[in-house]
Amino acid sequence: MKILVTAGPTRESIDPVRYITNRSSGKMGYALAEALVRAGHQVVLVSGPVTLSAPEGLDSLIRVETAAQMAESVKTVFPSCGGAVMCAAVADYRPAEPASEKIHKSEGDLILRLERTEDILLSLGRMKSPDQVLVGFAAETEDLRQRALGKMERKNLDWIIANRVGLPDRGFQSDDNAATAYARTGRVEEFPLMPKKLLAQKLMDLIFPGV
């Protein structure tokens, strides 16, 4: 099956030398792409800026920087895919008026106005055909189950993988993660803390069994 994976953070320009981003390392998304390749799938990885090297055997790797670029690539590739796993930590807001020249400091404070970016996963949920499998992630610091189930419903997902962030031993930057997978069918699978590579393999075996 051809499967689209998104990974990493996005970068939103404030001016030519500064940007807004987040703590995503891309490790989980790259591990998911690698697990799918190993299981024999044709994988298109759309990646924000990360320092990881590309998994071997990808169908293609599309490198993007901003949420808008990621949205464009993902929406172009998705119609030809049987499934999509959206693991990228996409910026929810970007500077509304990025400066074309470097902003110089002055005595007073600087106020930046931020505007919403496109929710790419929500767009895919609206585009999706009944036979496409759409998987989202929910990284939360609290109310994990309720927020994850709300997202699955709102974004028309088949699965949502919920994981807790803000703890030192897991999540962003870490090599380990724990997660709970919720399916639209009501199925729930818990995965205890383990290396992201192993977790990725278990999650993809669960969601995309067989080739």
Tell me which residues touch ligand C5P (CB under 6 A).
6, 67, 86-88, 90, 92, 117-121, 136-138, 151
CA atoms within 13 A on the CB side of 101: 2
Q: Shortest gap between Cβ of 105 and ligand C5P (angstroms)?
A: 31
Active-site entry in 22, 156, 163, 177 = 22
Q: How far apart are CA 65 and CA 171, in angstroms?
A: 22
Distance CA 197, CA 107 (A): 48
**Minimum CB distance to ligand C5P smaller for 118 or for 176:** 118
For the bound state, the minimum distance from the C-beta of residue 208 to ligand C5P, rounded and expressed in Å, comes to 16
Residue 37 vs 157, nearer CB to ligand C5P: 157
Which residue, 15 or 92, has its beta carbon nearer to ligand C5P? 92
Q: CB-wise, 63 or 103, nearer to ligand C5P? A: 63
* Distances from the Cα of 158 to the Cα of 131, 136, 152, 184, angstroms: 10, 8, 7, 5
Q: Kindly state the smallest distance separating residue 39's Cβ from ligand C5P, in Å.
A: 20
**DSSP assignment letter at 55:** P
Q: How far is the CB of 211 from ligand C5P (least distance, A)?
A: 24
* Known catalytic membership, residue 177: no
How far is 83 from 142, CA to CA, in rounded Å?
28
| SS3 (DSSP) at 25 | coil
Q: Say if residues 62 and 49 touch (Cβ distance below 8 Å).
A: no
Q: What phi, psi does 197 have (nearest 5°)?
A: -65, -40
Token pair, residue 140, equals 């939360």
Catalytic residues: 22
